[in-house]
Amino acid sequence: GPVKKVVELLDTLGENFQMLVVARRNNALKEALAQVKYKHTVKVFGFVDFVDELMAASDLVVSKAGGLTTSEAMAKGTPMAIVSPTPGQEEANSDFLLENGAAIRVNQLENMGYKIKKLLSPKSTLARMSKNARKIGHPSSALVAAKETLKRFS
């Protein structure tokens, strides 16, 4: 996705926050982001195996609405700002999160700053979204699925 543009747009906001950016295996993106001087604290990571810890430390996840990202964010009670979901499963995930008050959707990057600033201003909005995310998140779903599978094949 347009990660570099998203970071640049968020850096223009006057609010006090830091960004944790995961570039995954995109080394060129990681290096490009790490070389920029930002107004806010921006910590750039490559591939990580501690996404759950990053989400737990976050107040908001700005991302596409992929299945794994969505389920991890909800399990941690971290609301999302969904950026331009692709048609199909990401659209369905996005709709579900929006209907349950656990996300906002940013279809046009030009509107991102306005939407995120609106979320950060009245802290109760973000707190309400986090509460909604925890309601629909299932942190132990993998364990439940494993137990059910073992029951059926035992």
Q: What residue has token string 């509460």? A: 131
Q: So what's the pLDDT on residue 117?
A: 87
- 136 and 101 Cβ atoms separated by less than 8 Å: no
Q: Read off the amino acid at residue 61.
A: V
The mean of the pLDDT values for the chain is 92
Q: What is the pLDDT of residue 20?
A: 96
Instruction: Look at residue 14 in the predicted model and tell me its pLDDT.
Output: 82
pLDDT digits over 72-102, tens only?
999 999 999 999 898 999 999 999 999 999 9
pTM of the prediction? 0.87
Place of tokens 């399990």: 75
pLDDT beneath 70: ranges in the chain: 1
At position 124, the amino acid (one-letter code) is: S
Taking phi first (over 0 means left), then psi (-120 to 50 degrees means alpha), and beta for anything else, what does residue 88 get?
left
